Amino acid sequence: MTMDYVHLGRSGLKVSRLCLGTMNFGTRTEPPVAHRIMDQALEMGINFFDTANVYGRAVRIGLTEEVVGEWLSQGDHRQRVVLATKVFARTSDWPNEGGLSARHIISACEASLRRLRTDHIDLYQMHHVDRATPLEETLGALELLRQQGKVIYIGSSNFAGWHLARFQEQARARGAQGLVSEQSLYNLLSREVELEVLPACREYGIGMIPWSPLASGILGGTPGADHVGRRTDAQARERGAKHSDQLAAYERLCQEVGSHPSEVALAWLLAQPGVTAPIIGPRTEAQLTQAAQCLELTLGDAELTRLDQIFPGPGGAAPEAYAW
């Protein structure tokens, strides 16, 4: 397998076409296994690792960053990894421990740096929109962290198209760098970002990083009896039942292509204009190996057309998707 690297948005930073998601580390995946997965990812050429300050909250907030930080402190791991984490979600019940206020951003960044055992974060991402904090305050705090060398690039997650445009225009007016990436829910079953988010990303040079590329696992094929994880949660089972006809047609197509459903779902995302790197979240080394096979798969026009027929998107970009 040969890993390809692309620029993250309009930046000069090069990242692998797959991003290693770490949300399972410390909870569903024990630290020794998580360390082996990160070793394996690096050996495969995956240099883009994503986490968040609240991952691991089922045990304690910050646990996942601690697991990643322990691994980063070994050898030359930190130098080889493009490290991304996030800020927004509440870290306690205390009034200022959440959102995108200047105070919370700066204190949360310091806490993430300690847990990750590093002096800088390559990509610091706003995990969600904060409608209660002025954009000028949020942008100012993020720029301060950049000036201090604690953050190199800024990204967003779960922003609407107009949020992206507003942030970029504010950054431009201040002579600031602005966003280089956006993390959005994007997969064959969830294509709403094609209306306005993806067009905004392409216009402003923002790299798209899809999360949940397998739709909580239901695009990864029929699970075996020993399968555990989010795919067996009630919500995922209910959604799978709702889309059973589509999923059956999808799995037939995957059989014809001769590839595992998870590989096809990831290869489809990699074929979409503007997509930088889908986030894969393996719990095991075997799952990482399986996911990486998508890099060897190129879907032809016929397969892409059939996938559009099975999983119709919103019809393209707005306004043409719903108007003339």
Q: How far apart, in Å, are the Cα atoms of 322 and each of 105, 146, 165? A: 38, 40, 21
Residue among 73, 75, 74, 51 nearest 64 (CA): 51
Q: How many CB atoms lie within 10 A of CB 298?
A: 10
Q: Could you identify the residue written with the tokens 């094609």?
A: 194
DSSP, residue by residue, 186-207: -BTTB-GGGTTHHHHHHHHT-E
Does the active-site annotation cover 55?
yes
Q: Which residues pair with 86 in a beta bridge?
A: 125
Q: How far apart are CA 19 and CA 49, in angstroms?
A: 6
Task: Please name which of 214, 187, 188, 184 lies closest in space to residue 311, comparing C-alpha atoms.
Answer: 188
SS3 labels along 165-177:
HHHHHHHHHHCCC
- Nearest-5° Cα angle at 101, 97 to 106: 75
Tokens of 178: 């602005």
From the list 55, 153, 186, 204, the catalytic residue is 55
DSSP 323: -
Active site residues: 55
